[in-house]
Amino acid sequence: MTPANDPRAAITQAMPAVREDLERLVRIPSVSAPGFDPAHVARSAQATAEVLEAAGLPGVRLLEADGAPPAVLGERPAPGSAPTVLLYAHHDVQPPGAEEDWDSPPFEPTERHGRLYGRGTADDKAGIAVHAAALRALGGPPVGVKVFVEGEEEVGSPNLPAFLERHGEALRSDVIVLADMANWRVGQPALTTSLRGLVDAVVEVRTLDHAVHSGMYGGPFPDAITVLARLLATLHDREGNVAVPGLGSGTSEQLDLTEKELRQEAGAVDGLQLTGWGSLTARMWTMPAISVLAVDAPRVAEASNTLVPVARAKVSLRIPPGDEPAAAMEALVAHLGSNVPWGAEVRVTPGAAARPFAASTEGPAYQAARAAFADAWGSAPVLIGAGGTIPFVAAFADAYPEASILMTGVEDPDTRAHGANESLHLADFEKACLAEALLLQHLAG
């Protein structure tokens, strides 16, 4: 076979150009978070459009919504009665954090030991590169293809409803492939079938209307930090299970994940006990989880001998498939409001909310995906859940209820997405590119 009709050979031939495209995108610091230059996100959108055009996708254009970073859409009509497949990725990235935490500059792609390091190498500029690689390999794919790349996923896709309202018909497809997830391990592919949802809130406690001398008034009057600490402690029971009433909980297969492996992946300190009951996968994918993300209180270096009158914390609640964000938020707010100790004042301000998602694993699209991934990787994909939240998945499911949704990706337990030294396993990246090319072939029937 020649590369023109052999996807495996065509992917191998295309990889140098695909790698060059990816590195070009990674060099653009397209951080969508507030406080970062939006010009970089706009430049990233333009570069993404050029990558897709170079891969042979016609009709590439930038999509605008008021106040939103530009998204990119390109499309090739379906031949005959073939289905149309929407390929999704995002071109924005997380802030890099402290540069001294990186072993190489975050926006200079650097290869070490078979991995490409840099912000966005995996999450999710690799998703763009996977789509471009499949297009390069197939030339004119046997299905209709639309590629949609948004620019604000890392800040929760707040304008996605506006994009769907304005461009919904242009995005309508039979199958949606969301390339922003993880594989089970290096060398072992996965298809993600569920996501937890999210609600968060800021809780503020007040004990005094102003700071007072800790020696003169300490004893009869509690400080706000102590009150806040005791309130936050009520969010879990003694074993670390979430103690907020009214939240759902599910089960999940343990698969072959061990505690030792999970501790190594997370970088747990020696002696740290895991919290909660249930299988490890259930605790990460199908059970609620509460984390305290931040605390506002005086810095240690600036502390004085006074009773702190007010303190705040941001609380994040991941909710399992089957729960609704509004009910979960109500439960969280009610718990915080009714458990503050010693009669202190408490104010809870609800924040973000996103729905969980559970995909159907039946039908021809999933059969095609399983076959394509098994062929590309040499092993069948593991069906996994994800503990994180991706708002656009539920939005796409609502907008296109008849479409089959496949969640794929390139990350692995060593990727460190969102953290320092984010990286992409290059051999697995090539397999992911091949898997998508084969998937498009299989979907043609």
> What are the residue ranges spanned by the domains of the chain?
7-195+356-443, 201-249+288-354
* Cα distances (angstroms) measured from residue 81 to each of 86, 143, 172: 16, 9, 15
**Contact criterion met (CB below 8 Å) for 173 and 84:** yes
CATH number assigned to the domain covering 201-249+288-354: 3.30.70.360
Question: What is the separation of C-alpha 348 from the centre of its chain, rounded to a whole number of angstroms?
Answer: 26
User: pTM of the prediction?
Assistant: 0.90
**3 state SS of 198:** strand
**pLDDT value at residue 258:** 94
**pLDDT value at residue 1:** 36
How many Cβ atoms sit within 10 Å of the Cβ of residue 364? 14
CATH architecture of 7-195+356-443: 3-Layer(aba) Sandwich (3.40)
**Contact criterion met (CB below 8 Å) for 285 and 252:** yes
CA distance 169 to 163: 10
**Contact criterion met (CB below 8 Å) for 33 and 155:** yes
pLDDT digits (tens, 9 = 90+) for 245-275: 999 999 998 899 999 999 999 999 999 999 9
**Contact criterion met (CB below 8 Å) for 282 and 252:** yes
List per-residue pLDDT tens for the chain, 445 residues long: 344 468 999 999 999 999 999 999 999 999 999 999 999 999 999 999 999 999 999 999 999 888 889 999 999 999 999 999 999 999 999 999 999 999 999 999 999 999 999 999 999 999 999 999 999 999 989 999 999 999 999 998 888 888 888 899 999 999 999 999 999 999 999 999 999 999 999 999 999 999 999 999 999 999 999 999 999 999 999 999 999 999 999 999 889 999 999 999 999 999 999 999 999 999 999 999 999 999 999 999 999 999 999 999 999 999 999 999 999 999 999 999 999 999 999 999 999 999 999 998 999 999 999 999 999 999 999 999 999 888 889 889 999 999 999 999 999 999 999 999 999 999 999 999 999 999 999 999 7
First to last CA, the chain: 21
**Contact criterion met (CB below 8 Å) for 311 and 204:** yes
Q: Cis omega before residue 412 (within 30°)?
A: no
